[in-house]
Amino acid sequence: MSVNSYGEGYWRRSHQLPGVLVCPEHGAALADSAVSQGDGNQHEFIAADQKNCSPVAALPSWASSPRQVTLLQEIAKRSAALLDHPPVRFRDWGAYYRGAVIDRGFDKGKENVAQNLLREAILSLFEPVIDLIPGGLGGDWPTAMVRKHRKAFHPLRHVLFPIFLDKRSSQRRTAPPFGKGPWPCFNRLADHYGQNVIHEIAVRHDQDRVIGRFSCACGFVYSREVGSRSSPRILDFGPLLDDQIRQKVAEGLGLRAVAGYLAIDPGTVRLHASRLGLNVPWKPLAARHSRTLVPDCDAIRTRWLDMQQNYADLSRRQLALLLPKEHSWLYRHDREWLEQHSPTALHKKWSDQRVDWETLDRSMAIQLRKVAREITREVPPQRVTQAALERKLGRPRRMSERQVKLPKSIGVLGEVMETTDAFRLRRIVWATAELHRQALPVRSWRVRR
Ligand SMILES: [Zn+2]
């Protein structure tokens, strides 16, 4: 209500809408009136007065967060606009939204929507206000919005969705992430080394990273991350390497000489020669290893490289924790390659600068809540601990080391973690329900078990 300008209080329609927590014009936090919608006769008119509209007693904590306020004001503005200019024309909203998100890069195949990416992106945009708008953001509504609308959606959804669309159109995706191509091949053994001859690219979105996998017709495959300055990761040398190794071994060259000629490390030469079953002048890999393990070498290397691409800020030690088998195999049989293809101190410094902590923090906070919910659904009940959460996220000890950079995640962590007592209580409730389900009499000794 506004006493100052008119001398009399009144209700503003635009302040009464669901999801509207701030004034659309000023962004100031709105105070709750003492009038509840559920009270008495719904047709009764209650005038706004000093008694039922006390001034804001204490500002909510989000009022000092520009990000939350900006988002809330955007929601308020759009809601008010919807009141002033309700859409007059019928629109096939499902088709309209579907086309809009596909235009913004959420396409999968020709006409489908990448639903998981879309949901994550919407959640991540509204994450700062998720808890402030009860019922506004939960559920799977983004998925339903881009399908045929079989029922009307709450107007708030038609407020939120266009906000998301506007934010997206101003972002990237106007250009393909790696440009138009063709892209260079880095196969030193090919005549076209360094030339733009690659036409085949597969782009993968991993959280906020965009990774391209480039496959040349010569069989050489490498991957690269958008915005990364480090050299591309070689995933496959292709058949040219085999031919050359065969040829050089036949010429009688030694291990170092072959490696030097091919400009690759001796470990790689040794492995591929062994895989090809060549009769080499150097000490071959132990037979028991070569038979069972060498065929897997490429797969092991690929997993090691992939993990680095996905988690560019992990140290070698952390990678080893995530891929213990791969690491110990590489350490024993492929050490030189491992040294060359692991994060070094220098590499790590670079990567740290590239990490967009804010985005990472936001998406990790969302993941944490999700994973915590998953843990509480496990049977028999598992306690929600930091270790359990991090294990599920596949990022051991990552959070504690980065506390300062992940304020949101640490906050969520504090919220979702269970004390021993809370967990005991939940277990008892579960056990009791379980006994009921099995129709066993609830005796205290059964619960305790
Ligand atoms: Zn090539």
Banded model confidence at residue 185, pLDDT cuts 50, 70, 90: very high
Q: What pLDDT, on the 0 to 100 scale, is given for residue 27?
A: 75
Task: Tell how far the Cα of 10 is from the centroid of ligand 1, in angstroms.
Answer: 73
Instruction: Give the Å distance between the CA of 238 and the centre of ligand 1.
Output: 9
Q: Which are the contacts of 191, defined by CB distance < 8 A and separation ≥ 6?
A: none
User: Quick one: pLDDT at residue 195?
Assistant: 92
Assess whether the previous peptide bond of 324 is cis (omega < 30° from 0).
no
**Does residue 294 carry a pLDDT above 60?**
no
Between residues 67 and 89, the one the model is more confident about:
67
What pLDDT is attached to residue 346? 45
- Which residues are near ligand 1, the ion (C-beta closer than 5 Å)? 185, 187, 190, 216, 218, 220
CA 358–ligand 1 middle distance (angstroms): 38
Share of the chain above pLDDT 90, in %: 2
Q: What is the distance in A from the centroid of ligand 1 to the CA of 273? A: 21
- Residue 48: the pLDDT is 65
Q: How remote is the CA of residue 242 from the centroid of ligand 1, in Å? A: 14
Which of the pair, 46 or 210, is modelled with greater confidence?
A: 210
- How many angstroms is it from 311 CA to the middle of ligand 1? 27
CA 309 – ligand 1 centroid, Å: 22
Ligand 1 center to 307 CA (angstroms): 24
Min mean pLDDT across 109-123, 275-289, 416-430 is at: 275-289
Question: What pLDDT, in 10s, does the model give residues 149-176?
Answer: 877 888 888 888 888 888 876 554 556 7
C-alpha 52 – ligand 1 centre gap (Å): 75
The predicted pLDDT at position 353 comes to 45
Integer Cα distance of 290 and 283 in angstroms: 12
- Distance from the alpha carbon of residue 9 to the mean position of ligand 1, in angstroms: 75
The pLDDT value given to residue 137: 65
- CA–centroid distance, residue 219 to ligand 1 (Å): 7
Who has greater pLDDT, 58 or 5?
58
Domain ranges of the chain: 2-83, 87-171, 183-236, 239-289, 297-340, 357-448
Distance 430 CA to ligand 1 centre (A): 60
Ligand 1 centroid – CA 331 distance (Å): 29
Q: Which residues of 345-355 are buried (b: 16+ CB within 10 A; e: fewer)?
A: eebeeebeeeb
Q: Give the model's pLDDT for residue 292.
A: 44
Centre of ligand 1 to C-alpha 188, Å, is 9
Are residues 185 and 197 in contact, defined by beta-carbon separation less than 8 angstroms? yes
* Residue 368's pLDDT band (cuts 50, 70, 90): confident
Which has more pLDDT, 36 or 288?
Answer: 36
**Model pTM?**
0.38
